[in-house]
Chain A
Amino acid sequence: MMPWEVVIGLEVHAQLATSSKIFSGSSTAYGAKANTQASAVDLALPGVLPVLNKRVLDLAIMLGLAIDGEIASESIFSRKNYFYPDSPKGYQISQYDKPIISKGQLKFSNKGEGKVINITRAHLEEDAGKSLHEEFQNTTAIDLNRSGIPLLEIVSEPELRSAQDAVLYLKELHCLVRTLGICDGNMQEGSFRCDANVSVRNIEDPELGTRTEIKNLNSFRFVERAINYEAKRQIEVLEDGGVITQETRLYDPEKNETRTMRSKEDAHDYRYFPDPDLLPITITAAHIAQIAEELPETPWNKRRRYVKDYGVNSEDAAILANSPETSVYFEACMRNHAVSAKLVANWIIGELSALINKSSLTISNSPIVAERLVSVLERIEDQTISGKIAKQLLGLMWNTSDSADQIIAQERLGQVSDNALLEKIISQTLIDFPSQVQDYKAGKVKILGFLVGHVMSETKGKANPAMVKDLLEKSLTQGV
């Protein structure tokens, strides 16, 4: 059998995080009642005109800088003409031959192997409305709240070679737009979605195979499964001696299959031409420089810095850096360098995440703010409490605003480090377990663990285990 290579290019639609639409003053808030966020401009009433929301330029420039792309000093909006009920003007305002961003790059690694994917272009456009087919019988209803939502379409070269790579690329891009703050990345709400162009070829063939385009994939899992299904389908067709037809396909997550949406023959001639209602977009070097100055740190720089400056391992660095909220939290914990970064990382990734997952909260609105976590970790480091007690303490802190120290005092969680008290418990233990003491003295030093455990349980876990071990050893040797 011929060795097949899968070739994938992705078109990502990232909703730009603005409070109003790209060409009107309507709100972009998600979830409003149908058509309550549709102004005269969004409804395309006769005589209305679009006015560019300049904020979208700043957001696009941010992406351009982060992917080291070219930012056009002059770019233009074009009209993409097609009839569809949820496209109220009969055309979509988009960018065609002069996009705002071109020639960028995005790097990611797959199992330690570094990959570089070229980004052909990123252009601004407006979203369409929504056709609602199910809600009404024999009727289609239109909701234009989405109409005019600003999108940045980010188009990669067909350089991805597996569904897994495609997902890793997408995740890195997702992480980037969220870190830059240009897109909230909410895939369920459609803020970040993608079309995948998929083809297969004989690995030695220099030419690309005929591609199909899978539309509107809105989860990483769907992207992976849709590409895998589609690649397998194409290989089967070719191995059976068939040909692939260029077409647009839809992925059905319930059946895990792709199916034809429209074929090339039905493809529109969009009759693009420059939109005469909008002036060319001009971007000065000074404008770019100003944005560059305020550009948030990219995820890859952040990950590198966490390893280099804080000494956390690269796996933890990725977890902390990939979510902007988590990284803000982590850095807040590290502000005064009161506790070790490794300890902070362990607790954020471990116990704190567990608590958050159990609740409906996120790390940015959890009741245990960074300062409170640090106050707990300080007590671990100064040995007031053990790790086990710290977990208990965090649980208690989740439901109260009392400080860690208040709770330690109230609940008497502090470790017993009173030598006299410990020595008393230890003497009693040695009396209670004479055979174990005999064994130890006969050289079975491992039995020490049992004795330590008993002392710990006598103190209800509040003793410092290292100290107990020390004192026990001392008593046992003294007793010889």
Chain B
Amino acid sequence: MNLPNSVTEIIHGLENGTFSSRELTKAYLNRIDNLDPKINSFITVCHDQALQDAENADRRRATGTANKLTGVPYGNKDIFCTKGIRTTCGSKMLDTFISPYDATIVERLSSQGMVMLGKTNMDEFAMGSSNETSFYGRVNNPWNIDCVPGGSSGGSAAAVSAGFAPVATGSDTGGSIRQPAAFCGISGLKPTYGRVSRYGMIAFASSLDQAGPMGRSVEDLAHMLEPMAGYDPRDSTSSIVTTEDYSRDLEHTLEGKRIGLPKEYFATSLDYQIESVIEAAIKEFEQLGADVVEISIPTTPLSIPAYYVISSAECSSNLSRYDGVRYGHRCELPSNINDMYDRTRGEGFGEEVKRRLLTGTYVLSSGYYDAYYRKAQQIRRLIKNDFSKAFKHVDAVVSPTTPTTAFEAGKHLNSPVNMYLGDCFTVASNLAGLPALSIPVGFADGMPVGLQLVSSYFKESTLLTFGHMFQKATDWHLHFSQDNLKEAQ
């Protein structure tokens, strides 16, 4: 069968009986089997489980107990715990870890009757912006397999872009949904901190981590966000603010809406091609009725250092549980407990994870805490204030998602700081806890360019409306790398 191009199309197809979930699931699995060896976007493909779930979904549909998303396949980032299915977080440390429980969002997507195709590749413990730190090998960008897909949700982004899954889950600590979405030419939403439960999502930096949907169109994101969002009593930081009918309320005029362009974001020497693609997109928003104003986020240059201090501090503590005592990797024949810790962690973690653990341990040590961790938290408050001020005047803050398009694999591997600087536009919304959306808005040298919109707390609907109205008027989201991939065959 020909694979449908959107979740909306799948919903109609399943409702009208054009195809069954089993047929659809089989088609996606075939495509993964045939083409993913080129991309490496999946760590684990769940053939049997997926077909069984698809059959169950078809049965539900036959008995009239189906939900909107019953039978819709998805890719699941390997950071979300799945009962009975290996959950690796891209690390050797968890290579053998089979979770005895489902993450809250997995539970919610399953209860909708969605069909999990497999677990997607990612940077180890979500630490990375290129998907090159995965224990399971790097992921290739379907637009150009010599380039990285971005990270850390690089597997999910590449899988959606390559047509291996209509939608996928992602997680975003400093841009890990938006940056790979931009690099792979798809749409990705990082919701407000607390909008989606973190229970069962393996922690990187607890105060920044947020799960969200990745898909081709904003409309697809809206479909997927509905079951993902909502309060979870198992996550103390999840919000009790009521969720919305995200997919139903997409269509609204942008007339009178205000877009803010932070002068600091555009002051940096942006790549000329990217800048012109972004400018064209902003013009499009103006044509749709939005007013564009210049704003200021003076704390912009402080975001990256604050982000790397806080995220490293938190991960140094979060990853302490991987000690070889209860589960996961344990070194051979430890001579004593310290030897076991040293070798287990030395062998189980990759370079980038170790770099962050050392950084985090350092910034929390006595004598350095005030200079680094406390200072970073103060900056974090200032960043929040900057955005709060901005949202008194504008509905969305717009910028490129990334300063460059997808770069060649290996380019930044030996210069971690250059890699970190690529997060300059994305980390602020994590530090402030704000929702942020990346949508494809064009190409530079044949590689996709993403535009980021950030909105105020729990204004996911606003972001989705901006994105949807843009996509109704343009066709950038309908350029598919999967066609590329066929030619490459």
Contacts and interface: CB of A to CB of B under 8 A. Distances in A.
Contacts of A43: 326-327
Nearest to A131: B337
Interface in B199-219: 199-203, 205-207
Interface in B319-338: 319-321, 323, 325-327, 337
A81 B201 CA distance: 21
A425 B203 CA distance: 93
A51 B201 contact: no
Interface in A87-103: 88-91
A49 B236 contact: yes
Question: What is the size category of the interface that chain A forms with chain B?
Answer: 20 to 34
B235 A40 contact: no
Interface string B159-202: 00000000000000000000000000000000000000011111
Nearest to B102: A47
A83 B341 contact: yes
Contact of A45 (B233, B325, B327, B341): B327
B265 interface: no
Interface string B223-238: 0000000000111110
Interface string A62-106: 000000000000000001010101001111000000000000000
Interface on chain B toward A: helix, strand, loop, or mixed SS? loop
Nearest to A35: B326
Contacts of B420: none
A447 interface: no
Contacts of B364: 81, 271-273
Contacts of B236: 49-52, 277-279
A47 B99 contact: yes
A276 interface: yes
A286 B323 CA distance: 44
A47 B337 contact: no
Interface stretch (B141-149, B250-258, B365-373): B365-373
A269 interface: yes
A394 interface: no
Contacts, number: 99
A277 B233 CA distance: 13
Nearest to B87: A46
Nearest to A39: B101
B446 interface: no
A83 B198 contact: no
A85 B99 contact: no
Interface residues of B, number: 43
B196 to A, nearest CB: 13
Contacts of B100: 40, 45
A238 interface: no
Contacts of A269: 365-366
A83 B366 CA distance: 17
A142 interface: yes
A25 to B, nearest CB: 10
B321 A90 contact: yes
Contacts of B198: 47, 49
Most interface-central of B237, B313, B326 (chain A CB within 10 A): B326
A276 B376 CA distance: 14
A40 B234 CA distance: 12
A277 B237 CA distance: 7
Given A46-B94, A47-B81, A90-B321, 4 more contacts: A48-B200, A51-B234, A83-B320, A90-B319
25 contacts: A44-B321, A46-B81, A46-B94, A47-B81, A47-B87, A47-B99, A47-B198, A48-B200, A49-B198, A51-B234, A51-B235, A81-B317, A85-B337, A88-B326, A89-B320, A89-B321, A90-B317, A90-B323, A142-B325, A269-B365, A271-B316, A276-B206, A277-B237, A279-B236, A279-B237
